[in-house]
């Protein structure tokens, strides 16, 4: 009798209005989303508050990834926590926007990984042409396209009619969420009401970008590992190897967490069954692990970012808690003490080389590698 009443109640809704029966595990998603949002906000704030003196494309690509991961955290917070609390029913159009936004932010973040791989490839392999290749305009165009293309494919296109809403009936879903309620071979059962072609495009794109990044870092690692042309290259090789190891960690996280989701999208095109929808939800939560870990990797492997983060947090602490002002003052003094004061010459200080000897030493280094700009101490240059 209860089942019959539930069926009759579910039948009172329209065919495009579904009961909100999606269960993502509110406790897990809330904690994960909060960590993602806070971590990536700190990355964005550090890179914006302490910009590099020179234009470095790497900084902008990291910000792109952080913005995309921040979007993933906000969407996860909305899907896993607030929808069950605020919405009793959801429309198929809203499902397009939510799932499309999730695919959009994931694709943009993966594009950021690939852009960083391309940037490091030109910096190391084509260093003499790096500045002419990675210009401000090209970097800006690449970042804008990284947002526009996924937005068009996963949100704009499906919203304008490239979907399966006309073949879906939410009254079936309201009765049995595990039952197929969108009909037709062109409809994806994994991501309803998207078309199977859209899901296939997403899976192939993710796999292609990850494969391209792996190929580029393999080429870079081979180049740096066997580079022994000059003894002065040892410091450069050490920094480059550290950078490669850092990005390999980030890339490994993408492959381990996002790779299975991309494979699932490809499988769903060949084996279009409703069961894959529930597998997809688990894989989406797993893919967010990468968005959680990326900020920790940046602050762990990039010393300047970690120092700037500590300085920024101490500044906030002094502002919010005046009682901590005296305790945090020495750190600010140490930061300022590195600035040369007028009237004090480093060459006259005992135990330090003169300015002339330092200049001659720098010129000798330039002869060994004229095209290399040197390892700068900006916000982000090498990892």
Q: Is the predicted pLDDT of residue 189 greater than 90, yes or no?
A: no
By the 10 Å C-beta count (0-12 exposed, 13-18 middle, 19+ buried), 177 is classed as middle
3-state secondary structure of 44: helix
Determine, yes or no, domain membership for 149: yes
379 Cβ contact partners less than 8 Å away, ≥ 6 residues apart = 46, 47, 50, 51, 52, 56, 59, 304, 305, 308
CA atoms of 49 and 347, how far apart (whole Å): 33
Determine, yes or no, domain membership for 316: no
The 8-class DSSP code of residue 373 comes to -
Q: What is the pLDDT of residue 181?
A: 86
Question: Mean of the pLDDT values across residues 220-228?
Answer: 70
Whose tokens are 């990850």? That residue is 210
Question: Mean of the pLDDT values across residues 283-309?
Answer: 85
Q: Average pLDDT, whole number, for the chain?
A: 77
Determine, yes or no, domain membership for 354: no
CA 113 to chain centre: 7
Q: Where are the alpha helices (DSSP H) in the chain?
A: 2-11, 26-49, 57-77, 83-86, 92-124, 130-133, 136-151, 157-159, 170-175, 196-225, 233-257, 259-270, 275-301, 303-320, 325-337, 355-368
Determine, yes or no, domain membership for 187: yes
Determine, yes or no, domain membership for 264: yes
Q: Is the predicted pLDDT of residue 34 greater than 60, yes or no?
A: yes
Structure tokens at 166: 């006309």
Q: Is the predicted pLDDT of residue 71 greater than 80, yes or no?
A: yes
Determine, yes or no, domain membership for 240: yes
**CATH number of 251's domain:** 1.20.1070.10
Residue 49 CA: distances (Å) to CA of 37, 38, 111, 302: 18, 16, 24, 16
The total number of structural domains in the chain stands at 1
Residue 162 CA: distances (Å) to CA of 47, 93, 202, 219: 38, 12, 14, 39
Q: What is the pLDDT of residue 170?
A: 87
CA atoms of 159 and 145, how far apart (whole Å): 19
CA atoms of 243 and 241, how far apart (whole Å): 5
3-state secondary structure of 168: strand
Q: What is the pLDDT of residue 326?
A: 57
Whose tokens are 């309201």? That residue is 174
Contact 117, 213 (CB under 8 A): yes
pLDDT single digits (tens) 329-368: 544 444 433 333 333 344 444 444 444 443 444 444 444 4
Q: What is the pLDDT of residue 320?
A: 66
Select the highest-mean-pLDDT range: 15-19, 54-58, 218-222: 54-58
Question: Mean of the pLDDT values across residues 184-201?
Answer: 89
Residue 105 CA: distances (Å) to CA of 72, 151, 153, 192, 369: 6, 8, 12, 18, 41
Q: Is the predicted pLDDT of residue 376 greater than 50, yes or no?
A: no
Q: Is the predicted pLDDT of residue 209 greater than 80, yes or no?
A: yes
- pLDDT above 90 as % of the chain: 21
Determine, yes or no, domain membership for 51: yes
Determine, yes or no, domain membership for 46: yes
Domain that holds residue 122: 2-301
Question: Mean of the pLDDT values across residues 137-159?
Answer: 94
CA-closest candidate to residue 277, choices 176, 181, 373, 191: 191
């Amino acid at each position: 009798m209860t089942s019959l009443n539930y069926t009759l109640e579910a039948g009172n809704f329209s065919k495009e209005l579904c009961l909100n029966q999606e269960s993502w595990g509110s406790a897990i998603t809330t904690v994960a989303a909060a960590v993602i949002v806070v971590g990536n906000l700190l990355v964005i704030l550090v890179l914006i508050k302490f910009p590099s003196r020179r234009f470095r494309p790497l900084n902008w690509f990291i910000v792109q990834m952080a913005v995309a991961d921040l979007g993933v955290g906000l969407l996860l917070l909305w899907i896993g926590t607030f929808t069950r609390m605020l919405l009793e029913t959801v429309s198929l159009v809203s499902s397009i926007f939510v799932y499309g936004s999730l695919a959009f932010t994931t694709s943009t973040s993966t594009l950021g990984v690939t852009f960083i791989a391309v940037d490091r490839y030109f910096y190391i392999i084509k260093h003499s042409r790096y500045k002419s290749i990675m210009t401000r305009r090209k970097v800006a165009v690449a970042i804008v396209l990284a947002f526009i293309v996924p937005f068009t494919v996963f949100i704009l296109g499906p919203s304008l009619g490239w979907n399966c809403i006309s073949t879906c009936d939410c009254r079936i879903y309201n009765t049995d969420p595990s039952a197929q309620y969108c009909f037709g071979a062109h409809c994806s059962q994994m991501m309803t009401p998207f078309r199977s072609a859209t899901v296939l495009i997403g899976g192939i794109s993710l796999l292609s970008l990850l494969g391209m990044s792996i190929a580029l870092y393999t080429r870079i690692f081979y180049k740096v590992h066997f580079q022994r042309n000059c003894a002065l290259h040892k410091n450069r090789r050490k920094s480059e190897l550290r950078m490669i190891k850092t990005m390999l960690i980030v890339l490994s996280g993408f492959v381990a967490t996002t790779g299975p989701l991309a494979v699932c999208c490809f499988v769903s095109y060949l084996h279009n069954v409703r069961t894959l929808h529930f597998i997809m939800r688990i894989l989406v939560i797993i893919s967010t692990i990468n968005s959680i870990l990326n900020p920790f990797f940046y602050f762990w492997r990039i010393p300047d970012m970690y120092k700037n983060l500590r300085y920024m947090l101490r500044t906030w602490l002094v502002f919010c808690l005046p009682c901590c002002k005296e305790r945090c003052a020495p750190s600010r003094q140490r930061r300022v003490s590195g600035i040369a004061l007028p009237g004090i010459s480093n060459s006259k200080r005992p135990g330090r080389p003169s300015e002339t000897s330092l200049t001659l030493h720098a010129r000798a280094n330039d002869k060994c590698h004229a095209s290399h700009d040197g390892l700068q101490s900006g916000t982000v240059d090498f990892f």
